[in-house]
Structure 1
Amino acid sequence: MKIRSLIDPIYERYLRLQCRNMPRHIAIIQDGNRRFARKIGVDTAVGHRAGADITEQMLEWAGDLGVQHITLYSFSTENFHRDASEVQELFDLFREKFLSMVKNERVHRRHIRVQMVGDRTLLPSDLLAAIEQAEASTAGYHDFFLNIAIAYGGRNEIVQAAKRILAEVKDGTLAPEAITPAMVENHLYEGNPLPPVDLIIRTGNEYRTSNFLPWLANGNECAVYFCAPYWPLFRKIDLLRAIRVYQQRNEPMGTA
């Protein structure tokens, strides 16, 4: 560990020099909280809290690097099938964290705008109220955008957008021939459209993107970086390695 503490800062600087172009929008699938908890012999709730802690640290790294948009895959529509006690623990944790953002010094110092992405109709009223408080308290910020995907499913997102578009066609406010890809994007994230995803990161040694932001990610052929560490063990080095993959993918031929 002592050797690693000496080597890691040097390696971080080396990686940082390789990351000349920063992605504007990074989406992260935070996988491995439960496996991390099992590995160290603690309750699942402890693993989720450890994941929340590293999330706060990662936001500092991303902000320092100049990344403008972070979207976190925190709870999918499929996660509702988990044990009811675990779902409640997660919702309690989400509620606590959203409420803390209202007065969080870091959030307001960095001018972080907080937004939920997902199906709000699936959430309990107390969690939804906390989310809306965080969104309202940061609505005027435009320096850094934190999008938290809860009750989120990529196909469901597109279905809901299609329903909103069809409703406008039905009531005569939208002509079918006026429907464009840009219009669909605006209906996906009403009020605060997200930019295309440049880079997806997935932790936990899983090699799939799990229905995450299919329109903005797959539709824009973003870079993807899979890494082994469980989310609570994610390091700045892992973030820089992911950005290096983005850098290499977008580097003009012959300059690598």
Structure 2
Amino acid sequence: MEAKLKKELGTAMLKSTGHSGGGCISEGQSYDTDTGRVFVKINHKSEAKQMFDGEMASLEAILKTDTIKVPKSVKVIELDTGGCVFVMEHLDMRGLNKYSKHLGEQLADLHLHNKRLMETFEKEQQTRNEWQDDWVTFFSQQRLQHQLNMVENSHGDREARELWAKLQLKIPQFFTDVEIVPALLHGDLWGGNVSECTDGPVIFDPASFYGHSEFELGIAGMFGGFNRSFYSAYHEKIPKAPGFAERNQLYQLYHYLNHWNHFGGGYRGSSIGIMKNLMK
């Protein structure tokens, strides 16, 4: 792998720094090169290139907003032995601590970026161009329904099937009188995907798409990692809309279903519990 890296990066030096990392999906390693230190994510699965191409596009999209720090992408490289690596800027990071408030402010700026671009465009054009898309249908069918189809195929869970048959009819009620302007989302913003450098917060490992800004706060509230100053700073810029609590549960339902499908039945109880709560 290292010979391939040297060739693709055009570097004579490729020396492991001893810094390593990774999660339940990929492993990682830092290297010193002729042009500086890089971080390399490694995944040997057949779908690795598609995954890393998506992550690279996500990082580049967030970077272009100039709102919140992310690692700069370098290159996605297919390995001769199968799998793929994603080379990016190495950042010296530590646990989120002093910059929680800044993270809240900057995440809100990321979510507001697209709205501000639209407002600027409309002002310059002296006309009104409105987005014609349906987030509720997209989220229900492309996100929740997809996860529940996977649950059905793998587990044939009757209770989940019956609850979903009722809940999907109720979902539009949770979005009554809510204006949704598509926002660029990180897509997987839990405590393990945020950190800070000496100059401020940093987010990484994104799975970006355009959607409702509240979706981002679903998984953020599931596994800890965000304190009160983060939420206060965020909602100072993007206040909670009526019905926020119910929609937050709905967005958490997607993540619990996703975890159920990927990591097993330990997440069934949370998934079923949320569907029952939302039906009350």
TM range (shorter): 0.3 to 0.5
The two structures have a TM-score, normalised by structure 2, of 0.32
Asked which structure has the greater CA Rg, the reply is 2
